[in-house]
Amino acid sequence: MLAEVCSVAFALTNMLDSTLRTIALTTKGFMPEAEGDALFVAARSACEALPGLPMVEVGSYCGRSTVWLGAVAREWGTVLHAVDHHGGSEENQAGWEWHDPEIVNTQGRIDTLPFFRQTMQRAGLSDVVRECVGDSHSIGAAWREPLALCFVDGGHARAVARGDYEAWAQHVAIDGLLVIHDVFEDPADGGQAPFEEIYLPALHSGRFVERSRSGSLRVLQRTSR
């Protein structure tokens, strides 16, 4: 009985605030609730291990996962840099499976930035979430600050995923976390780019070890340079 009570207490203290949870789950996006909770726990762990270091999210879309991460940034007195060109990934374009006509602007182009900003305003996280609008590979190449956590959830084309790994994994501090979304070992479950171009290279590099998994979310910890 005591173990069950402790387990429930742990779960309750490691969940997003109910108001923010509602905002996250009503925001356009592809992050399942359980994986969002796992991301939240990972971010807390990273900020506890490396207090003061910022976090980065590669691929914000309309801000659904950003709410989970931004809440942790506020709790720990740090910032989250949200990196996205906001023009939609390949799979979001017209004619593809994940296209949403509601995010197409009056010029006929995908533009998720207004939706993202609205989400941050609704969640009251605009002060701790820093917009980095542009190409993630270019931004990552110019980056100079070590990170407590880097969450990669960008485009799923192979070149894009590989570029995100090459641009950002190096910036994760020792004991920091590299979190990867949409990792599917079985091709029948989903695209292979995050698995083959980010997850496997990180493990094979010898610099990261897997710490946890939830659905398609993988949490890797950096252990060496």
Task: For the chain, report the end-to-end CA distance as a whole number of angstroms.
Answer: 44
Query: Which SS3 state, helix, strand or coil, does residue 177 take?
Result: strand
Which amino acid, residue 166?
E
* Dihedral of the alpha carbons of 54, 56, 57, 62, in degrees to the nearest 10: 60
The rounded Cα 161 to chain-centroid distance in angstroms is 13
Q: Where are the beta strands (DSSP E) in 26-137?
A: 55-58, 80-84, 129-133
Q: Which two tokens stand for residue 61?
A: 């879309």
Q: Which two tokens stand for residue 28?
A: 């356009």
Task: State how beta strands 147-152 and 80-84 pair.
Answer: unpaired
Q: Which two tokens stand for residue 87?
A: 């023009």
**Which of 81, 85, 86, 156 is an active site residue?**
156
Backbone φ, ψ for residue 149 (5° rounding) = -150, 140
Q: Where are the beta strands (DSSP E) in the chain?
A: 55-58, 80-84, 129-133, 147-152, 172-180, 208-214, 217-222
- State yes or no: is 86 an active-site residue: no
Q: Annotated active-site positions, please?
A: 156
